[in-house]
């Protein structure tokens, strides 16, 4: 009988567990970094208004970081929402429908956010 | 186990942080268009920036300004809770801090810090 534990066990499943776990954490770290970068710039001296706010996103490095964060958000939210749907929605048809709706929602939102970023 | 059976168990504080981690994530997911709308109008031009601030000061259509502030405050709490609960997870992954005591204490820290920061930012949002 095949061993079901230890290093010689027969590995089964779709093998996306570690990849999803890792991408959720890498994207989380990126977004935490973005949050820190944004807070530091908001707290720099100078009264908050359009000039200061738009000035923060005028730097090329901030635009790049924001773009990376939008893509990271897309991946992060997909992993999280898929976990939630797998846990609470038991019907396969309903779950697949909700997962498709999630993808459409996320791709749409990311597209809009990137469009905003690109015309700055 | 059905949900009604699960409700018979006392939820430990770490469990409360966990379910709020999910709830805050869901809330931000559903309010993504509002978040991107804020990103859009606050950055596009000086005119759109003044429209952005006017929505929170005077409302839009029949929706009063305080309602938008309340939604923003809910998002602030959701973001803070999700961020701190996430950092707690990263810390536990990195250090293998898996004792019952650490789980409970870090859960209390997560709840208290996120609510306190929400109150501070809420005061700034509503009172200034």
Q: Does B91 touch chain A (CB under 8 A)?
A: no
Give the CATH number, domain containing residue A74.
1.20.1300.10
Q: Give the ranges where chain A is alpha helix by DSSP (H).
A: 17-43, 50-56, 60-88, 92-118
Residue A3 pLDDT greater than 90, yes or no: no
pLDDT score at A16: 75
In a domain, A5, yes or no: no
In a domain, A42, yes or no: yes
CB within 8 Å: B36 and A116: yes
* Residues in A touching B90 (Cβ below 8 Å): 25, 28-29
Q: Per the domain annotation, does A80 fall within a domain?
A: yes
* Mean of pLDDT values over A95-108: 97
**Do B106 and B77 form a contact (C-beta atoms < 8 A)?**
no
CA dist B23 and B30 (Å) reads: 11
CA nearest to B28 within chain A:
A77
CATH class assigned to B12-127: mainly alpha
Assembly ipTM = 0.90
Residue A47 domain-assigned?
A: yes
Q: What is the pLDDT of residues B7-62, one digit of tens each?
A: 888 889 999 999 999 999 999 999 999 999 999 999 999 999 999 999 999 999 99
Instruction: Kindly report, residue by residue over B91-111, the tens digit of the pLDDT.
Output: 999 998 789 999 999 999 999
- Give domain limits for chain B: 12-127
Residue A11 CA to residue A5 CA, distance in Å, equals: 9
Task: Give dist(CA A6, CA B89) in Å, integer.
Answer: 26
Inter-chain residue contact B36 with A81, CB threshold 8 Å: no
Containing structural domain, residue A101: 17-118
C-alpha to C-alpha distance for B124 and B113, rounded to whole angstroms: 17
């Amino acid at each position: 009988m095949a061993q079901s534990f230890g290093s010689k066990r027969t590995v089964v499943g779709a093998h996306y567990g570690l990849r999803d776990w890792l991408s959720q954490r890498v994207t989380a770290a990126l977004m935490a970094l973005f949050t820190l970068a944004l807070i530091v710039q908001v707290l720099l001296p100078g009264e908050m208004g359009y000039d200061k706010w738009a000035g923060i996103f005028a730097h090329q490095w901030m635009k790049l970081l924001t773009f990376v964060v939008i893509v990271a958000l897309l991946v992060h939210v997909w992993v999280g929402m898929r976990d939630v749907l797998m846990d609470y929605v038991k019907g396969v048809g309903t779950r697949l429908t909700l997962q498709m709706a999630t993808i459409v929602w996320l791709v749409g939102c990311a597209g809009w956010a990137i469009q905003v970023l690109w015309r700055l | 186990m059905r949900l009604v059976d699960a409700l018979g168990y006392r939820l430990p504080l770490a469990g409360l942080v966990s379910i709020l981690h999910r709830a805050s994530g869901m809330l931000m997911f559903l309010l993504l268009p509002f978040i991107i709308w804020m990103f859009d109008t606050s950055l596009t031009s000086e005119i759109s920036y003044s429209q952005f601030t006017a929505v929170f000061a005077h409302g839009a259509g029949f929706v009063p300004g305080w309602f938008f502030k309340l939604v923003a405050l809910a998002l602030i709490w959701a973001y803070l809770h999700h961020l701190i609960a996430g950092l707690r997870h990263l810390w536990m992954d990195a250090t293998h801090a898996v004792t019952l005591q650490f789980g409970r204490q870090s859960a209390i820290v997560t709840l208290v810090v996120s609510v306190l920061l929400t109150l501070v930012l809420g005061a700034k949002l509503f009172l200034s």
